[in-house]
């Protein structure tokens, strides 16, 4: 059975309550339940983790070495300045797909800089809660070897995506 984590960063513990006009009405518990249920139907063990602290997210991801096959990560605001998280992902032996509920490129300018981009296996933004499931599907495709490398793809800066 494939084992993956869905990791939620700062402020995502308040999904459904915090700015529902921006982030939607689905709670973190509802989202996690849906993803875990989806995983069971696809022979994938999905575990969920949320923390408001960058160090805790790093500890969790590093603790997944030898236990996880991959991860889906919504780093929240750490996407814009989480350099320690970036370095952690670059050193992981498993792929990480970054997901954002909103389209960060249609929001404030400071959100346009995504420091994890060079080291994640891919990104999905602006698809709401559906983005998490799409990220899981993309991750599974990557793990099965069915995610072809596109010509011209940046290989040098692409960490966190071994096999």
Say if residues 43 and 69 touch (Cβ distance below 8 Å): no
Specify whether 42 is catalytic. Answer: no
Known catalytic membership, residue 80? no
Distance CA 41, CA 39 (A): 5
Q: What is the DSSP letter of 37?
A: H
Question: Using CB atoms within 10 A of its CB, is residue 52 exposed (0-12), middle (13-18) or buried (19+)?
Answer: middle
Given the residues 8, 49, 94, 100, the one annotated as active site? 100
Picking from 92, 44, 47, 98, the residue whose alpha carbon sits closest to that of residue 76 is: 98
Query: How far apart, in whole angstroms, are the C-alpha atoms of residue 1 and residue 126?
Result: 30
Distance CA 118, CA 96 (A): 11
Tell me the two tokens of residue 124: 């999905």
Residue of 23, 49, 94, 132 with catalytic role: 23
* Active-site annotation, residues: 23, 100
């Amino acid at each position: 059975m494939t084992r993956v984590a869905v990791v939620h960063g700062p402020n995502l513990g308040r999904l459904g309550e915090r700015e529902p006009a921006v982030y939607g009405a689905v709670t973190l518990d509802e989202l996690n339940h849906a993803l875990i249920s989806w995983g069971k139907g696809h022979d994938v063990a999905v575990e969920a983790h949320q923390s408001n602290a960058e160090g805790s997210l790093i500890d969790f991801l590093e603790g997944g070495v030898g236990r996880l096959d991959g991860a889906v990560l919504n780093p929240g605001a750490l996407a814009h300045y989480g350099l320690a998280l970036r370095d952690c992902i670059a050193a992981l032996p498993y792929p990480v797909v970054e997901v954002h509920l909103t389209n960060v490129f249609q929001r404030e300018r400071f959100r346009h800089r995504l420091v994890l981009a060079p080291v994640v296996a891919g990104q999905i933004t602006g698809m709401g809660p559906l983005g998490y499931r799409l990220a899981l599907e993309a991750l599974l495709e990557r793990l099965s070897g069915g995610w072809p490398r596109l010509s011209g793809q940046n290989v040098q800066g692409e960490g966190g995506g071994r096999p």
